[in-house]
């Protein structure tokens, strides 16, 4: 007997966090449409970012954010899958032709968590302590407070990085609370950082769903999962990032809040050593206009050569 046609085909990376996110999407689709979970297929892809795990490389070195989505994008465009499930902060601002980020699940905790097996907070680290991160944003924000810290490369999935702490590779690190929560590891956080001081990465904590442009069937399938407030916030933050030409080469933070229907976007750019930074903020109801305004304000403050001076 021939198997029934899949209701939807999901593409994802193979890390524990990516699989948890893909399974969440499958659960939500199953509930929203009243279909059995086994009719929603999940296909796992090994991306270039997953295959390149050399400790002394940064995201910029291996090709930028697109290295975490390229294989899934290709499968979407070829019709092999219908939906790509991504951590939105890992999606480049310039999407491949023919692909759109059409929906976003309700955002998880946007904050970063300080994690250490020896001290409570970044202020308690000893002079010259080893701070493990391969995020230039997190490195810059840590160095702004503690320029004495030694930044050591710290790549790998969440569990790998937690194990590296236990193995003594570094004295502390920062991880996204969203990822920890989705893996049931929220208790690992030693201290949860104030996002006003440690602005998260743009789009941090939001699961984005990519589909083929013009694919009305897939658009209808994922529409019930789209969280309007999250969609607006991510649109604002990604627009800001696009205006800044922001990428994995530059430390950029963003924080969006919503009160009484009004969005407020705060943005930040930093030098690699964290000693120079600029901030801007704006409020409104048009997320794209808001993101563009904050991005332009930051550019005006930093000057036309900021990217060349600070980019790595």
CATH of the domain at 130: 3.40.190.10
- Cα angle value 138/140/144 (rounded, 5°): 115
- 83 in a domain, yes or no? yes
Joined together, the tokens standing for residue 30 give: 């199953």
- 92 in a domain, yes or no? yes
Based on the fold, state whether residues 70 and 88 are members of the same structural domain. Answer: yes
The pLDDT value recorded for residue 100 is 97
In tens digits, what is the pLDDT along the chain, a chain of 312 residues?
456 789 999 999 999 999 999 999 999 999 999 999 999 999 999 865 554 555 555 555 544 556 778 899 999 999 999 999 999 999 988 899 999 999 999 999 999 999 999 999 999 999 999 999 999 999 999 999 999 999 999 888 899 999 999 999 999 999 999 999 999 999 999 999 999 999 999 999 999 999 999 999 999 999 999 999 999 999 999 999 999 875 557 899 999 999 988 999 999 999 999 999 999 999 999 999 999 999 999 999 988 777 677 655
Domain interval for residue 234: 227-312
Joined together, the tokens standing for residue 150 give: 């030694």
Contact 162, 176 (CB under 8 A): no
90 labelled catalytic: yes
Based on the fold, state whether residues 100 and 214 are members of the same structural domain. Answer: yes
Based on the fold, state whether residues 90 and 212 are members of the same structural domain. Answer: yes
Catalytic residue (choose from 73, 82, 90, 171)? 90
Based on the fold, state whether residues 217 and 236 are members of the same structural domain. Answer: no
The pLDDT value recorded for residue 63 is 47
Based on the fold, state whether residues 96 and 146 are members of the same structural domain. Answer: no
- 2 in a domain, yes or no? yes
Contact 92, 201 (CB under 8 A): no
From residue 57, give the alpha-carbon distance in Å to each of 60, 129, 149, 271: 8, 21, 19, 19
**Site of tokens 């005006």:** 300
Overall domain count for the chain: 3
- 29 in a domain, yes or no? yes
- 43 in a domain, yes or no? yes
Distance CA 67, CA 86 (A): 12
- 23 in a domain, yes or no? yes
Based on the fold, state whether residues 103 and 210 are members of the same structural domain. Answer: yes
Task: Give the end of a domain, one of 142, 168, 192.
Answer: 192
Based on the fold, state whether residues 219 and 232 are members of the same structural domain. Answer: no
Give the pTM. Answer: 0.91
- 178 in a domain, yes or no? yes
- 198 in a domain, yes or no? no
Distance CA 210, CA 162 (A): 30
CATH number at residue 274: 3.30.160.40
Task: Give the end of a domain, one of 169, 192, 215.
Answer: 192
């Amino acid at each position: 007997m021939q198997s029934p046609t899949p209701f939807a085909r999901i593409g994802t990376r193979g890390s524990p966090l990516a699989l948890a996110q893909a399974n969440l999407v499958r659960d939500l689709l199953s509930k929203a449409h009243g279909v059995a979970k086994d009719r929603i297929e999940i296909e796992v892809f090994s991306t270039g970012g997953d295959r390149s795990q050399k400790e002394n490389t940064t995201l910029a070195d291996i090709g930028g954010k697109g290295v975490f989505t390229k294989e899934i994008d290709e499968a979407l465009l070829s019709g092999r899958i219908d939906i790509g499930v991504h951590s939105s902060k890992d999606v480049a601002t310039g999407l491949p032709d023919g692909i759109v980020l059409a929906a976003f699940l309700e955002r998880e905790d946007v904050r970063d968590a300080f994690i250490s097996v020896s001290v409570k907070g970044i202020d308690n680290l000893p002079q010259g302590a080893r701070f493990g991160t391969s995020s230039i944003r997190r490195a810059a924000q840590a160095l702004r407070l503690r320029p004495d810290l030694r930044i050591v490369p710290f790549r790998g999935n969440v569990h790998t990085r937690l194990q590296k702490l236990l193995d003594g590779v570094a004295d502390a690190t920062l991880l996204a609370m969203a990822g920890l929560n989705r893996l049931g590891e929220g208790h690992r956080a030693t201290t949860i950082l104030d996002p006003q001081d440690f602005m998260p990465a743009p789009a941090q904590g939001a699961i984005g769903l990519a589909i083929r442009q013009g694919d009305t069937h897939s658009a209808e399938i994922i529409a019930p999962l789209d969280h309007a407030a999250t969609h607006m916030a991510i649109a604002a933050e990604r627009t800001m990032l696009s205006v800044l030409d922001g990428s994995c080469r530059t430390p950029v933070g963003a924080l969006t809040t919503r009160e009484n229907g009004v969005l407020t976007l705060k943005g930040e750019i930093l030098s690699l050593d964290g000693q120079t930074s600029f901030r801007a903020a704006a409020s409104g109801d048009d997320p794209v206009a808001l993101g563009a305004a904050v991005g332009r304000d930051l550019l005006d403050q930093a000057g036309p050569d900021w990217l060349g001076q600070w980019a790595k």
